[in-house]
Amino acid sequence: MVQTALTVLLGALRALLDLALPTALVLAVLALALGGLALIDRDRARRALHGLGTRAPQLGGWALAALLLGGALVTLNVSRRAVDLRIAAQQNARYANAADPDGGQTVQVAPSAALLESRTYTRSLLLPSDVATSIRVDNSLDSLLPYLGSPGDTVQDLRENFTRTPEGLRYTREVVMQSQRPLDFDRGVVRADLRFVEPAGGRGTYYTAAFQASYRFRNPLSTPATLRFAFPLPGGSGTLSGFTLTVNGQALSASDLLSGSVWEGQVPAGGSVDVQVAYAHQGSRAWSYQLSRREAIRDLDVTVTADRPAKFQRYSLFPTSQTRPTLGGPATLRWQLKNAVTAQDVAVVFTQGSVRETLTKVHLAQGLAVVLASLLIPLWAC
């Protein structure tokens, strides 16, 4: 910081020295004008010198005031540039002595529920005897593989056999595949509490978020079935802490789930599944809950609490209700959807100013305040 201030001060002194030559030229021109006046009219020149001598104390006072004003403006400029360079160095530093926020614009995609079903598909292929002989098929699949294709990832069971008939060689493939039937949620309640933090050292503003949500869906069949609940992890959220997923009262950690956030389980006929999800993270600038899948929404309640004024992304869902305390405090934004199909998302954006820009405006205002004070003091003295 000291080295930066000295560098800026030397730059200001060089700028003042650059003004020395024009000032000397002006004084030389005035001296030449006075000398020319003395050659033309000595009495008038003497009166001019006498007048300057009489007003010298007053002119000296004004000159001193101008020097003080110039010194104050130079000092403010030096401090402004030093602080600006210091903040720039901190923001561009490769190392830091404090933790930086680990999140950005957070996007939480709405979860999905599905009914897992098994379906059997049978495919047969009749090869005439001459064709089977030409491609050398003899109860072996090796020659047929280029024509049959490989089974997909959802194949649960695969059976193949050959049968010789008078017409030729018949190949039969029986595949048991798993399919998913999407299920609608009976009820969804989402709560996001965003608290903003102003870090020291000019680092960017961020928020700490506590996310809580509960969902309910049911088995629509009259027989027991396997249901799946997939909760996509948020994007741009950095590190998640305290992630828990509770299914019908049983708390599960990320290690107990498929891919860290997918639950599968057997549900009795007509039975319901209650899921609670909770986690905490850091983010900045924006938070959104993505709904734009054109799926039916029976009953959804999303509430966002933030201690900073929020704006809404263009073409996103506007809140159905807003509560903003008159004396300050967190604002509550609420979206309530029932029996709706939407292609819009819940998206809130928080404006934040740059520390460098704010300090630049403050220093400019300080300079204007000093100049205004220097103009008002003589008027007040009069």
Predicted confidence (pLDDT) per residue in 33-51, tens digit: 766 766 676 666 666 666 6
Distance CA 313, CA 55 (A): 67
Query: Is the backbone of residue 57 left (phi > 0), alpha (psi -120 to 50) or beta?
Result: alpha
Residue type (1 letter), 37:
L
Beta strands (DSSP E) in the chain are 106-109, 112-128, 155-165, 168-183, 187-197, 206-218, 225-230, 241-247, 250-252, 262-267, 272-283, 286-290, 296-306, 311-312, 321-323, 331-341, 346-349
**Predicted confidence band at 351 (pLDDT cuts at 50, 70, 90)?**
confident
Q: Are 132 and 93 in contact (CB under 8 A)?
A: no
Structure token digits, residue 79: 């401090």
Which of 15-19, 139-143, 243-247, 254-258 reaches the highest mean pLDDT?
A: 243-247
**In the predicted structure, residue 206 carries a pLDDT above the cut 70:** yes
**Of 42-46, 137-141, 237-241, 309-313, where does mean pLDDT reach its minimum?**
137-141
Task: Give me the pLDDT at residue 194, please.
Answer: 94
Task: Name the nearest CA neighbour of 116 among 258, 244, 256, 232.
Answer: 258
Determine the Cα angle at 56 with ends 54 and 57, to 5°.
105
**In the predicted structure, residue 382 carries a pLDDT above the cut 60:** no
Torsion angle (degrees, nearest 10) of CA 46, 49, 51, 55 = -160
Q: pTM of this prediction? A: 0.66
Which tens digit of pLDDT belongs to each residue from 3-25?
655 665 666 666 666 666 676 77
Domain ranges of the chain: 2-95+357-381, 106-113+185-353, 116-181
**Predicted confidence band at 225 (pLDDT cuts at 50, 70, 90)?**
very high
Residue 316 is classified by DSSP as: S
**In the predicted structure, residue 236 carries a pLDDT above the cut 80:** yes
Structure token digits, residue 275: 């899921």
Bridge partners for 244 per DSSP: 278
List of long-range contacts for 369-378, beta carbons under 8 Å, 24+ apart: 370/69, 370/72, 370/73, 370/76, 371/69, 371/73, 374/65, 374/69
- Architecture label for domain 106-113+185-353: Sandwich (2.60)
Mean pLDDT for 165-176 is 78
- Report the SS3 class of residue 62: helix
Task: Name the nearest CA neighbour of 310 among 347, 354, 281.
Answer: 347
